[in-house]
Amino acid sequence: MTAPSEEFRCEFADREDLIAYLKAQFPEAAARDDRVSPIRGGRRAADAAMKRLDPVDYAASRNYLSGTVTRLSPYLRYGVVGMAELRDAILHRAGRKGVATKLLNELGWRDYFQRRYAQIGNGVWQDQGRLGTGYAPDEYGEELPEDIATGTTGLACIDAFSVQLRTIGYLHNHARLWLAAYLVHWRRVRWQTGARWFLGHLLDGDPASNNLNWQWVAGALGHRPYVFTRENLEQYIEGAYCAGCPLYGRCPFEGSHADHAARLFRPEPGLPTGGAR
Ligand SMILES: Cc1cc2nc3c(=O)[nH]c(=O)nc-3n(C[C@H](O)[C@H](O)[C@H](O)COP(=O)(O)OP(=O)(O)OC[C@H]3O[C@@H](n4cnc5c(N)ncnc54)[C@H](O)[C@@H]3O)c2cc1C
């Protein structure tokens, strides 16, 4: 990417002015893909998201695509909001002790991954353990399949997540897990390929949280590769995709965790599967 030609401007007449300026400053990026996410950057947008914090509802609904998640990750990523600041805001909103545990735990994952990244640096691109799938790294494909990249697999859920990734730059945690598991386990593509794809589009994309989560899905971090079932997905999408999916009832996610483990992984004595979060 070409370096910007001058000092960055900080004042803009409006959002259109800002977008035009950035496209001019980064012509190679704009030529690759010049869609602009509807998500607003900046402190004002971050403050609005902080005002909506609801730790109680979060704990009850976090796993649902429509759940009360904070959507603060892009602001954390670029330091618009600090970790300690967010922790204090969460505790303040919670009021009572214990109520904020779930949300604070999730924030703890970010902290843990950042610390691990500080220790291993580019090691986040290398398997942190033996893949728990029974396959060797060189048995996975290198290329991102075109139908996944373009959202044309025919699977309504996967295609929608692919489009959201590219047009919005944000995905709910569960959508990230499902998309990652589909790529790595159902299509047997290296997790690094998926991690690079995500980093190219996510507004919150960072090598620590991104790569280490991909490793967790792949079974290289911790002992269990992550797989899911159609039933599991349907519960948390609340009817959003499955009902209108042309592959409903015969999609690759039909079956139990044990069925998927038997189909997708090489049998190994004592290999447990089906991580869930
Ligand atoms: C394959 C995959 C790739 C991911 N890539 C990234 C990434 O590049 N950048 C990134 O910030 N997160 C990443 N995550 C973690 C998580 O999905 C996002 O942090 C979260 O969905 C952001 O939305 P939110 O702010 O609404 O989260 P909330 O659910 O509201 O959580 C609050 C904050 O806690 C932290 N957090 C929550 N879940 C996780 C988690 N599983 N791991 C680490 N931190 C977490 C985030 O900082 C988040 O903003 C990835 C997860 C997966 C499965």
Mean pLDDT by 10-residue block, N- to C-terminus, for the chain (277 residues)?
A: 68 93 93 92 96 95 96 97 96 88 96 97 96 94 98 97 97 98 98 97 97 97 91 91 92 95 82 50
User: Whole-angstrom Cα distance, residue 214 to residue 227?
Assistant: 12
Atom 35 of ligand 1 has which residue's CA nearest to it?
A: 107
User: Whole-angstrom Cα distance, residue 204 to residue 207?
Assistant: 10
Q: Find the residues whose C-beta lies inside 6 A of ligand 1.
A: 62, 69-73, 76-77, 106-107, 109-110, 113, 172-173, 176-177, 180, 198, 202, 204-206, 209-210, 213-214, 217
For the chain, domains (ranges, CATH) are: 43-122 (1.25.40.80), 137-264 (1.10.579.10)
User: Whole-angstrom Cα distance, residue 17 to residue 19?
Assistant: 6
Q: Can you give the pLDDT at residue 3?
A: 56
Atom 22 of ligand 1 has which residue's CA nearest to it?
A: 73
Q: Can you give the pLDDT at residue 276?
A: 46
Q: 88 C-alpha vs ligand 1 centroid, how far in Å? A: 19
Task: Give the Cα-Cα-Cα angle 268, 220, 260 (nearest 5 degrees).
Answer: 50
User: Whole-angstrom Cα distance, residue 260 to residue 230?
Assistant: 11
The response to whether 205 counts as a known ligand-binding position is yes
Q: Can you give the pLDDT at residue 169?
A: 97
Q: Can you give the pLDDT at residue 190?
A: 98
Query: CA distances (Å), 158 to each of 68, 149, 178, 227, in order?
Result: 22, 10, 8, 14
Of 37, 80, 173, 224, the residue with max ligand 1 atoms within 8 A of its CB, to mutate for a pocket test, comes to: 173
What is the 8-class DSSP label of residue 70? Answer: -
Residues pairing with 189 in the sheet: 141
Q: Can you give the pLDDT at residue 271?
A: 52
